[in-house]
C-alpha cells in the first residue's frame, strides 16, 4: 500500500501546506524519517540531494514548533551559505500555512546586525553555517535553552570542511534532552567522527 502524507502523524496545517505545494506522496526518505522523528528518536539518515531530505527533517521540525513561544526551538546546521539559504527557503515554503512561524538563515561573509535583530525577535527555526552560529552563541544573540531539535544537514561535508570542533561545541551547547537528526551522503565515518550514540535510528 502506498504511504500518504496523512499517514505520517503531521499536523493538519502542514498537510494543507504540502498539498498546496503539489507534493502528492512522501518520498521514501520522508516516509521513513517523519514518523520516527515525530516519536522523538535521534536519527542518522543516509541521503542525497534531490531525495526530499529537506522536507524529511523540515516537516517534523515544523510539527514540533510552538508558535506562541518566540524562542529558537530548532537549529539546522549546514556546510555552506547556499545550502543554508536553500534549506531555509524550503522550510518557509513548507510552513506557508503556519501563521506566525519564522525561520531565518544565518551565515558568514555578511553583516551580522540584521541576523542579530532577527534572532533577538525570537526566530523559531535558525538555519546556519557552523562558524556564524558559533559567533552568535558567543554573543548570546542565539539562545539555546528552548532548542528541542538539532539537525545536521550534510554532516559528512561539514566534517570534511573542518567544522568538527565547531559542530561539537554547538551540539555540546544544546540542552541535554534535545533530539538530533544527522543527514549525510556517506555514513562510513560520521559515527566515529561525531561520537553519535549507538541507539540512534538508522535510515
| Closest CB to ligand AMP among residues 50, 162 | 50
Instruction: Write the DSSP assignment of 88-135 as a string of letters.
Output: HHHHHHHTTTSTT--EEEE-SSS-SHHHHHHHHTT-SEEEE-HHHHHH
> Residue 114 and residue 179: Cα distance in Å, rounded?
28
* Contact range with ligand AMP by CB under 6 A, out of 46-54, 96-104, 171-179, 184-192: 46-54
Which of 45, 52, 60, 128 binds ligand AMP (CB under 6 A)? It is 52
If binding is defined by CB under 6 A, does position 17 make contact with ligand AMP?
Answer: no
If binding is defined by CB under 6 A, does position 55 make contact with ligand AMP?
Answer: yes
If binding is defined by CB under 6 A, does position 23 make contact with ligand AMP?
Answer: yes
What kind and span of H or E run contains 33? helix 28-38
| Closest CB to ligand AMP among residues 14, 55 | 55
Longest CA–CA separation in the chain, Å: 51
Smallest gap from Cβ 23 to ligand AMP, in A, equals 4
If binding is defined by CB under 6 A, does position 54 make contact with ligand AMP?
Answer: yes
- CB environment 74-108: b (16+ within 10 A), e (fewer): bbbbbbebebbebbbebbbebbebbeebbbbbbbb
If binding is defined by CB under 6 A, does position 141 make contact with ligand AMP?
Answer: no
* Contact range with ligand AMP by CB under 6 A, out of 25-33, 72-80, 95-103, 108-116: 25-33
Which of 6, 39, 49, 121 binds ligand AMP (CB under 6 A)? It is 49
Distances (CA, A) of 82 to 17, 101, 106, 129, 194: 24, 22, 11, 10, 24
Within 167-196, the residues that bind ligand AMP by CB under 6 A are none
Instruction: Enumerate binding residues for ligand AMP (CB under 6 A).
Output: 23, 26-27, 30, 49-55, 90
Amino acid at each position: 500500500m502506498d504511504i500518504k502524507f496523512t499517514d505520517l502523524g503531521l499536523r493538519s496545517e502542514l498537510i494543507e501546506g504540502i498539498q498546496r505545494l503539489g507534493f502528492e506522496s512522501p518520498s521514501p526518505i520522508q516516509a521513513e524519517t517523519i514518523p520516527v522523528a515525530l516519536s522523538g528518536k535521534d536519527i542518522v539518515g543516509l541521503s542525497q540531494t534531490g531525495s526530499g531530505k529537506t522536507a524529511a527533517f523540515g516537516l517534523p521540525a515544523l510539527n514540533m514548533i510552538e508558535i506562541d513561544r518566540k524562542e529558537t526551538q530548532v537549529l539546522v546546521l549546514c556546510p555552506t551559505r547556499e545550502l543554508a539559504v536553500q534549506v531555509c527557503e524550503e522550510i518557509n515554503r513548507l510552513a506557508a500555512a503556519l501563521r506566525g512561524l519564522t525561520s531565518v538563515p544565518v551565515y558568514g561573509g555578511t553583516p551580522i546586525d540584521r541576523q542579530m535583530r532577527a534572532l533577538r525577535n525570537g526566530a523559531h527555526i535558525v538555519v546556519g553555517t557552523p562558524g556564524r552560529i558559533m559567533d552568535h552563541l558567543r554573543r548570546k544573540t542565539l539562545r539555546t535553552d528552548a532548542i528541542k531539535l538539532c539537525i545536521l544537514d550534510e554532516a559528512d561535508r561539514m566534517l570534511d570542511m573542518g567544522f568538527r570542533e565547531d559542530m561539537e561545541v554547538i551540539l555540546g551547547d544544546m540542552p541535554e534532552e534535545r533530539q538530533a537528526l544527522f543527514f549525510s551522503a556517506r555514513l562510513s565515518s560520521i559515527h566515529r567522527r561525531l561520537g553519535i550514540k549507538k541507539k540512534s535510528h538508522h535510515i
